[in-house]
C-alpha cells in the first residue's frame, strides 16, 4: 500500500518531456503507483479537452484539475466537479489592454476555450497542436457560462514580463498568475492548484499528509506547499525548488518516474 494515497502531477514540464511526449518509463511508474492504491490526479494549466487525453494515455480515468485549479472535471463524462468562476465584466481592463497592445488572448469556461477575433491559419494550427478547438464569439458577453480563466500568450517572455508588471499594479478582483514563460493567466483570486487539490482531497477523505505532488513552475507552488510531500523538477526555477521538499530529475530525464520509484514502491 502506498504511503501517499493521492498523487498530483503537473503535465507540461513535469509529466511530459519538452517535446510533449509521455515516455514509457514515466507511464509505467505512474501505472504502478495507481495499481498500488494511489489515486492519480493531473493538475494542469490545460483545459479538460487536452488534459483528459493525457490521463487516457496513462491508461487511467478519474479526475483532472484543469485551468490551474479553476475547474475540476471528471474524465468519464466531462462533468464539472468544482470550479472557481468569475464575472466576465472583470475582464474588461485585460481585454482592452490586450487589444491596445495587439496581444493574443483567449477565455476559458470550464470545458471550452473561446476567442473573439479572427486568427491566421497558423494561429489555429497552434491550438490544434495542443488538441484545442477554439470557439469563435463576438464578445465576452456571448459566453454561455461564466469564465474560469483568461490567458494571454506571447512568444517573447520579456514582453510578458512587462505585461505582468503592469497588470500587478491594477486594482482588480482577479488573480494574475504567471503560468509559464509564454503565458499569463487571470483567474478567480481563490483559484489555484493547491486549493483545488485541497477540495479534492477533502472529498476523498484523504489527509494532506497522504498527498504527494510534483510540478515545475510558479503555478505549482501552492500545490507543492499543500501536499504532504512536494517534489520539484530539476528544470524548475530556483524559487520553486526552494519551496519543495525534494528535487527530482528533469522532465526530459524521467524525473516523475524516478520520484515515484523512490517514494511509491
Q: Catalytic one among 10, 12, 222, 254?
A: 10
Backbone angles phi, psi at 92, to 5 degrees: -55, -50
Q: What are 42-67's pLDDT values in tens digits?
A: 999 999 999 999 999 999 999 999 99
**220 in active site:** no
Report the Cα 156 to chain-centroid distance in Å: 21
For residue 5, the SS3 value is: coil
Quote the Cα angle for 178-241-35, to 5°.
95
Going by their DSSP bridges, the two strands 183-187 and 175-180 should be labelled as antiparallel
DSSP, residue by residue, 124-184:
HHHHHHTT--PEE-SSGGG-SS--SEEEEE-S-HHHHHHHHHHHTTS--SSEEEEEETTEE
Q: What are 86-130's pLDDT values in tens digits?
A: 999 999 999 999 999 999 999 999 999 999 988 777 777 777 777
Alpha-helix residue ranges (DSSP H) falling in the chain: 24-35, 48-57, 92-100, 121-129, 157-167, 193-204, 221-226, 238-243, 255-263
pLDDT of res. 221? 96
Range 6-83+191-263 has CATH code 3.40.50.300: no
Quote the percentage of the chain above a pLDDT of 90.
88
Quote the percentage of the chain above a pLDDT of 70.
99
**Of 155, 178, 149, whose CA–CA distance to 166 is shortest?**
178
Domain ranges of the chain: 6-83+191-263, 88-187
Q: What are 163-211's pLDDT values in tens digits?
A: 999 999 999 999 999 988 899 999 999 999 999 999 999 999 999 999 9
CATH topology of domain 88-187: 3.30.1240
pLDDT of res. 105? 94
Amino acid at each position: 500500500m502506498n504511503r501517499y494515497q493521492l498523487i498530483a502531477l503537473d503535465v507540461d514540464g513535469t509529466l511530459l518531456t519538452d517535446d510533449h511526449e509521455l515516455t514509457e518509463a514515466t507511464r509505467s511508474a505512474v501505472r504502478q503507483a495507481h495499481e498500488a492504491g494511489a489515486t492519480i490526479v493531473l493538475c494542469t494549466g490545460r483545459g479538460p479537452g487536452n488534459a483528459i487525453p493525457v490521463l487516457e494515455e496513462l491508461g487511467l480515468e478519474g479526475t483532472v484539475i484543469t485551468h490551474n485549479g479553476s475547474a475540476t472535471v471528471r474524465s468519464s463524462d466531462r462533468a464539472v466537479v468544482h470550479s472557481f468562476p468569475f464575472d466576465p465584466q472583470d475582464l474588461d481592463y485585460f481585454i482592452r489592454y490586450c487589444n491596445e497592445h495587439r496581444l493574443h488572448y483567449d477565455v476559458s469556461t470550464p470545458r471550452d476555450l473561446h476567442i473573439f477575433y479572427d486568427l491566421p491559419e497558423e494561429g489555429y494550427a497552434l491550438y490544434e497542436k495542443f488538441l484545442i478547438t477554439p470557439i469563435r464569439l463576438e464578445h465576452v458577453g456571448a459566453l454561455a457560462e461564466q469564465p474560469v480563466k483568461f490567458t494571454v500568450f506571447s512568444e517573447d517572455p520579456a514582453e510578458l514580463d512587462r505585461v505582468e508588471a503592469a497588470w500587478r499594479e491594477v486594482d482588480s478582483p482577479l488573480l494574475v498568475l504567471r503560468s509559464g514563460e509564454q503565458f499569463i493567466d487571470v483567474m478567480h483570486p481563490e483559484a489555484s492548484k493547491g486549493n483545488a487539490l485541497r477540495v479534492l482531497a477533502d472529498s476523498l477523505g484523504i489527509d494532506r499528509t497522504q498527498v504527494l505532488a510534483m510540478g515545475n513552475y510558479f503555478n505549482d507552488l501552492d500545490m507543492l506547499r499543500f501536499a504532504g510531500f512536494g517534489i520539484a523538477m530539476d528544470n524548475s526555477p530556483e524559487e520553486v525548488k526552494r519551496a519543495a521538499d525534494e528535487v527530482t530529475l528533469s522532465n526530459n530525464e524521467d524525473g516523475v518516474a524516478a520520484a515515484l520509484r523512490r517514494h511509491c514502491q
